[in-house]
Structure 1
Amino acid sequence: MVNTRFTSFAEFYPFYLSEHRNRTGRRLHFIGSSLSLLLLATGIFKGGGLWFVAALVCGYAFAWVGHFFFEKNRPATFRYPFYSFAGDWRMWWETLTGKRAF
């Protein structure tokens, strides 16, 4: 499935989840995305572009630590940047709402 060309997000998402089987990795994704939202909100209310840069760096840093040290795989961001970004937020929402285990 590594060399598969996905034609839709619905097709991609099961692959995305297969790349996030490790619970610690998923937790790191959730924490990093949550902190990114806080940094983004801070940037909106306080102003200043550095908050937005910090939000981006924070989200990816947590996710990539999860991939490289716990999942032992390469983030899908490198091959499927848009689908991967959407997958991050869908998995975050599913975790927040209890559909996916934290």
Structure 2
Amino acid sequence: MSRIKTYAEFYQFYLSEHQNKTCRILHFTGTLLVFVLAVLAVYLGNNVLWIFVPIMGYGFAWVGHYFFEKNKPATFSYPLWSLVSDFRMFFDILIGKISFDGNKDKL
């Protein structure tokens, strides 16, 4: 595959790498926990909680890729766009723009 040049192209690729429902659920759960931990860390003034933010975010996502999607996370090739896309996919699912079932995306 040639190097992706635009974010719009990348997001389509990103979604195609997240077709498995369980993988998307794990991504969504990990991202939700990232938000919960970040809010708790700030609210409680507990800096130790920040250690768990990447563990939750990446841990859930990588389990989804390894065991369910059976592909390599895009984080390794496109780290910044992948991070942005994880949050975008989270909010796209939250507002109903896309579903947990990747085969039903209509973007």
> What TM bracket, shorter-length normalisation?
over 0.9
In structure 1, C-alpha distance between the alignment counterparts of 2:79 and 2:46, rounded to whole Å:
26
Structure 1's consecutive aligned runs of 4 or more residues displaced over 2 angstroms after TM superposition are none
Tell me the TM-score normalised to structure 1 length. 0.93
Question: How many Å apart are 1:50 and its aligned residue?
Answer: 1.8
Where does residue 101 of structure 1 map in the other structure? 99
Question: How many Å apart are 1:49 and its aligned residue?
Answer: 2.3
Where does residue 64 of structure 1 map in the other structure? 62
In structure 2, C-alpha distance between the alignment counterparts of 1:49 and 1:81, rounded to whole Å:
24
Choose which of 38, 48, 52 in structure 2 pairs with 1:50. Answer: 48
Matched, 1:22 2:20: yes
For residues 8-48 of structure 1, give each alpha carbon's deviation from its aligned partner in whole angstroms, at most 9, with x where no partner exists. Answer: 21121111011000000000000010011000101111123
Contact persistence 2:40–2:46 (CA under 8 A): no
State the AA in 2 paired with 1:79: S
* Aligned-pair identity (%): 49
Let me know the Cα RMSD of the aligned residues. Answer: 0.9
Choose which of 3, 11, 29 in structure 1 pairs with 2:9. Answer: 11
Structure 2, unaligned stretches of length 5 or more? Answer: 101-107
Question: How many Å apart are 1:73 and its aligned residue?
Answer: 0.4
Where does residue 103 of structure 2 map in the other structure? none
In structure 1, C-alpha distance between the alignment counterparts of 2:54 and 2:48, rounded to whole Å:
10
Structure 1, unaligned stretches of length 5 or more? Answer: none
Tell me the TM-score normalised to structure 2 length. 0.89
Size of the aligned set, in residue pairs, is 100
